[in-house]
Amino acid sequence: MRRAVVVGAGVGGLAVAGALARARWEVTLLESQSSLAVGRGALLLWPNGVHALRALNVGSGLDEIGEPVADTVIRRPDGRVLARSSLAGLAERYGAPALAVRRQDLYDALTAELGDVEVRTGVRVDAVRASDGVGPAVGDGRDWWKADLVVAADGMDSVVRRAVSPESAVTPAGYTAWRAVVPRHRALADVTSGETVGSGQRFLVTPLGSRGVHWVAVATGAPRPESADVQLDLLRRWFADWHDPIGALIAATRPDELWQEAMADLDPLPRRFGVSVGHGGIALLGDAAHAMTPNLGQGACLALEDAITLGTLITEATPGAPLDDVLARYDRLRRRRTAKLVRRSRRLGALFGARSRLGVSARNTLLTAAPTGLLDRATAAGADWRPPRTRR
């Protein structure tokens, strides 16, 4: 039986570990945290992400954990509508709806599909061996894990990527995101999904049905060094004059529900997503391969696409054959597509995060003048994707 080691148990790592185990590989999943992924906040899953999850066996559970998103509205801070986009037609056009899910629910659903995977938590990989003679291996300073295939699913700051693709760099976007899920009993009723764009600041709201309301606040600058309750105070002040229910949602949030993160992407992307090492190799997956700013809401969807693509290629590979061909095909199927979306997300971030008066006014004019065109193109970016078909 061939052996894979997956580094990182986020969305991408959980998904690919399950897919490789179903392809009858012996799989070890290494995660630096002391327990399997603890998810904060929520995610939008676009039709491509939903298709990937269906192919990964998680489709049926989505009815229970996913909240359909029907419309999205872009407003100015005073509440005036700049643009609307209906997402209801996505299901018809792309064969799957757009769904909002709590990260933890998605992690739990993927964990339930892990099957026969050996899970090792509390293991922080800090060394990578990629010499042709012995094949790929990763270590944590105490132990080494050798494998035919190492999958780097260790996120934007991937240790494995730094070792095999040092040319790729994490590039700060210049803004920070704060997010929280306010439980239903504390959240307001009748909150609708949408985004409000100001000058260098934005606020996104996504209702999660019985699970509450997810919000994300974005502001220019670095993460704040203050405690979470001081950060909440700051957010209250920054968004004080913004339309309802923004102030109420911040007020209903507890400090321990708040999470801040500097936004960044990879620029340039790694030259190759698949690196041959002897008869085996290393595959980069999810944010480790193509971390992007969250403006398109596609990062996790693309990680799921990577996982089912790699799983399918491995399933089709001739048993025992070198992995060169699998890794080259993985690179061909994934690199161009993800590079395009990373660039689009960066451009959308520059447009939505405009700060100067001229920039804000140009953005608002663009949104009002082409209200559905721009938004529809952004929401549909990447939606048109289907899992590769298995040839066997």
Ligand X SMILES: Cc1cc2nc3c(=O)[nH]c(=O)nc-3n(C[C@H](O)[C@H](O)[C@H](O)COP(=O)(O)OP(=O)(O)OC[C@H]3O[C@@H](n4cnc5c(N)ncnc54)[C@H](O)[C@@H]3O)c2cc1C
Count of chain residues binding ligand X (CB under 6 A) = 36
Q: What is the DSSP string of 46-90?
A: -HHHHHHHHHTT-GGGHHHH-EE--EEEEE-TTS-EEEEEE-TTH
Measured distance CA(117)–CA(76) in Å, rounded: 48
* Chain CA centroid to CA 382, Å: 13
Beta pairing, strands 170-182 & 213-220: antiparallel
Q: How far is the CB of 132 from ligand X (least distance, A)?
A: 24
Is 43 near ligand X (CB under 6 A)? yes
The 243-282 contact track toward ligand X, x by CB under 6 A, reads: ------------------x---------------------
Is 179 near ligand X (CB under 6 A)? yes
Is 297 near ligand X (CB under 6 A)? yes
Tokens 């095999």, located at residue: 164
**Residue number, 79 or 221, with CB nearest to ligand X:** 221
Q: Which residues pair with 203 in a beta bridge?
A: 196, 217
For ligand X, the binding residue among 83, 125, 354, 367 (CB under 6 A) is 125
Q: What is the DSSP string of 242-281?
A: SPTTHHHHHHT--GGG-EEEEEEEESSPPS-SEEEETTEE
Q: How far is the CB of 144 from ligand X (least distance, A)?
A: 14
Is 37 near ligand X (CB under 6 A)? yes
Is 287 near ligand X (CB under 6 A)? yes
Measured distance CA(299)–CA(41) in Å, rounded: 14
Q: What is the DSSP-derived secondary structure letter of residue 41? A: S
**Residue number, 187 or 263, with CB nearest to ligand X:** 263
93 three-class SS: helix
CA 369-44-63 angle, to 5 degrees, is 125
Which range touches ligand X (CB under 6 A), out of 90-98, 150-158, 236-244, 343-351? Answer: 150-158
**Residue number, 124 or 254, with CB nearest to ligand X:** 124
Is 111 near ligand X (CB under 6 A)? no
Q: How far is the CB of 9 from ligand X (least distance, A)?
A: 5
Is 220 near ligand X (CB under 6 A)? no
Which range touches ligand X (CB under 6 A), out of 89-97, 118-126, 273-281, 361-369? Answer: 118-126
For ligand X, the binding residue among 153, 235, 283, 381 (CB under 6 A) is 153
Is 283 near ligand X (CB under 6 A)? no
218 three-class SS: strand
Is 90 near ligand X (CB under 6 A)? no
Measured distance CA(213)–CA(161) in Å, rounded: 35
For ligand X, the binding residue among 2, 5, 12, 212 (CB under 6 A) is 12
Is 200 near ligand X (CB under 6 A)? no
Is 53 near ligand X (CB under 6 A)? no
Q: How far is the CB of 129 from ligand X (least distance, A)?
A: 15
Measured distance CA(69)–CA(88) in Å, rounded: 7
For ligand X, the binding residue among 2, 4, 10, 136 (CB under 6 A) is 10
Q: How far is the CB of 322 from ligand X (least distance, A)?
A: 26
Tokens of 89: 């037609």
Beta pairing, strands 170-182 & 149-152: unpaired
Q: Which strands make up the sheet holding 135-139, listed edge to edge?
A: 127-131, 135-139, 144-146
Q: How far is the CB of 296 from ligand X (least distance, A)?
A: 8
Measured distance CA(290)–CA(213) in Å, rounded: 28
- Which residues contact ligand X (rule: CB under 6 A)? 7-13, 30-33, 37, 43-44, 49, 123-125, 153-155, 159, 177, 179, 216, 261, 286-288, 294, 297-301, 303
